[in-house]
Amino acid sequence: MATFNSRRRFCGQILAAAAGVAAPTFSARAQSKKIVYATWGGTWEKAIRGAWFDPFTKKTGIEVVAIGGNTYGKFKAMVDSGRVEWDVVEVNPDFQWIGQKDNLLEKLDFQVIDTSKIMDGQHLITPYSVPQVLWSRVRFYNTNAFKGDNHPKSWADVWDVKRFPGKRTFASKANSGTLEVALIADGVPMDKLYPLDVDRALKSLAKIKGDIIWGDTNAQLEQFMKDGQAVTGLVPDGRALAAVDNGAPIVIDYSQSMMTWSTMVIPRGAPNRDGAMQFLKYAMTPEAQAAVALAYTYGPVTPDAYKMIPMDRAKILSGGPQQNGKYFLADEKWWGENLATANDKLNAWRMA
């Protein structure tokens, strides 16, 4: 029976508990109950909500609020203004250096974040960033245009427009792998690509200039694959897989593919820096990596995750068995430092 006294006792207990909790840790609690995660959004956001955010919240009690609009311009504007709203941000790997140069990033606490399970790879981890997931740029070919065994099997083949006629598609931004595969087609071995000889790559591209249809957005690349405007080319593996799911008559070829990754950073002045570190620690565990690889067609950065991924799934992921020994890792540091000049050269060449 809830008498006045028992209620008073109950209230007293609550107050005591609150007082005990309130005094030293009140501010930390208020701060640690949520982090803001800036994401590219879309179906990817749905995937990481299920694979990362919800399990993380269950484990630590820290709520993850997702927000879009993670452009570099807004990142810099936000940090420069001193009122940072984001705690963790997804970025392309070139930002590992571009962001550092402008002093926009928090140094990561590797006492909290365990990076021992992350695969070996040049520049994957920096004092300011951890890799998020792996993805690749792969070659595809259209099965209506190239029947049976008569399809391009290498970049040199793609450069052979006589044997394999039709339009080739490449993404128009300089760091989309276009220059790298142009060099490979010209005979440069995959382990000797960097530093890129941009002029040589452009000379190589010039040989097929008239047969290139440039993709400025991922949506365009997918449209080209679906309706056959391009019969081969270099595209992100996620886009190619989505195109296949939507009925595009293409096959994905992992030979001579370019592997790269996406990155997570913490903006300098983030409101919940500690919560952000906790999140990154969670995301770097093989369990979390396996979960995200099952939810979206990206590869885990921790090889141990493959123990938890069935073979059917593994063979369409970056870093999976089908890609073993057939790829080169993009040198994102070179790109972080040379994007501007390379893009200028590519634009000039495309406009001529």
Partner 1 sequence: MATPASWMSSRAIALLALPAMLFLAVLFFYPLGTLIAYSFSGSGPAANYQKILANPVYLQILQRTFTISVATTLICALIGYPLARQIVAASPRGRAILLAIILVPFWTNLLVRSYGWMIILNPKGAINQALLALGVIDAPLALVYNTTGVLIGMVQIMLPYMIFPIVAVMSRIDARLVIAARSLGASPLASFIFVYLPMTLPGLMAGALLVFTISLGFFVIPAILGGPRDLMLAQLIEFNINNTLNWGFAGALSTVLLVATVGVYLVAQRWFGLGSIWGAIAR
Partner 2 sequence: MRRGWAGRLAGAIFVSAACVFLILPTLIVVPMSFTSAEQLIFPPVGFSLRWYVNYATTNAWRLATLNSVLTATGSMVLATVLGTLAALAISRGRLPFRGGITTLFLFPMIVPSIVTAVAIYNTFAKLHLTDSVAGMILAHTILGLPFVVINVLAVLQKMDWRIVDAARSCGATPTRALFLVTLPAIMPGVLAGAVFAFVTSFDEVVVALFLSGTSAMTLPVQMWNGIRFEINPTVAAVSVILIAFATTVFATITTLKRAPS
Q: Which stretches of the chain bind partner 2, using CB under 8 A?
A: 36, 40-45, 65, 67-69, 71, 73-74, 77-78, 80-83, 85, 217-219, 222-223, 226-227, 238-239, 242, 245-247
Site for partner 1 in 67-96 (CB under 8 A): 71-73, 76
| Terminal Cα-to-Cα distance of the chain (whole angstroms) | 88
Q: How far apart are CA 158 and CA 167, in angstroms?
A: 10
Q: What is the DSSP string of 137-190?
A: EEEEEETTTS-TT-S--SHHHHT-TTTS-S-EEEESSTTTTHHHHHHHHTT--G
Q: How far apart are CA 182 and CA 198, in angstroms?
A: 10
User: Which secondary structure element, helix H or strand E, spans residue 260, and what is its range?
Assistant: strand 250-265
Query: Quick one: which segment of 119-127, 144-152, 320-328, 338-346 binds partner 1 (CB under 8 A)?
Result: 338-346
Shorter beta-carbon distance to partner 2: residue 36 or 259: 36
Shorter beta-carbon distance to partner 2: residue 83 or 162: 83
Q: How far apart are CA 20 and CA 279, in angstroms?
A: 27
- Long-range CB pairs of 187-192 (<8 Å, 24+ gap) are 187/156, 190/256, 190/327, 190/328, 191/328
Q: What angle do CA 144, 258, 264 make, to 5 degrees?
A: 120
Residue 50 binding: pick among partner 1, partner 2, none (C-beta 5-8 Å cut-off by kind): none
Residue 78 binding: pick among partner 1, partner 2, none (C-beta 5-8 Å cut-off by kind): partner 2
User: How near is the Cβ of 283 to partner 1 at its closest, in Å?
Assistant: 25
Residue 343 binding: pick among partner 2, partner 1, none (C-beta 5-8 Å cut-off by kind): partner 1
Q: Which residue has the tokens 């008498």?
A: 3
User: How near is the Cβ of 184 to partner 1 at its closest, in Å?
Assistant: 22
User: How near is the Cβ of 15 to partner 1 at its closest, in Å?
Assistant: 48
Q: How far apart are CA 53 and CA 329, in angstroms?
A: 28
User: How near is the Cβ of 138 to partner 2 at its closest, in Å?
Assistant: 16
Half-sphere exposure of 222 (CA within 13 A, CB side): 14
Structure tokens at 163: 């044997």
Shorter beta-carbon distance to partner 2: residue 223 or 285: 223
User: How near is the Cβ of 18 to partner 2 at its closest, in Å?
Assistant: 28
User: How near is the Cβ of 97 to partner 1 at its closest, in Å?
Assistant: 11
Residues in contact with partner 1, shown as a per-residue x/- string from 190 to 229 under the rule CB under 8 A = -----------------------xx-xx-xx--x---xxx
Note the residues at the interface with partner 1 (CB under 8 A). Answer: 71-73, 76, 98-99, 101-102, 172-173, 213-214, 216-217, 219-220, 223, 227-229, 339-340, 343-344, 347-348, 350-351
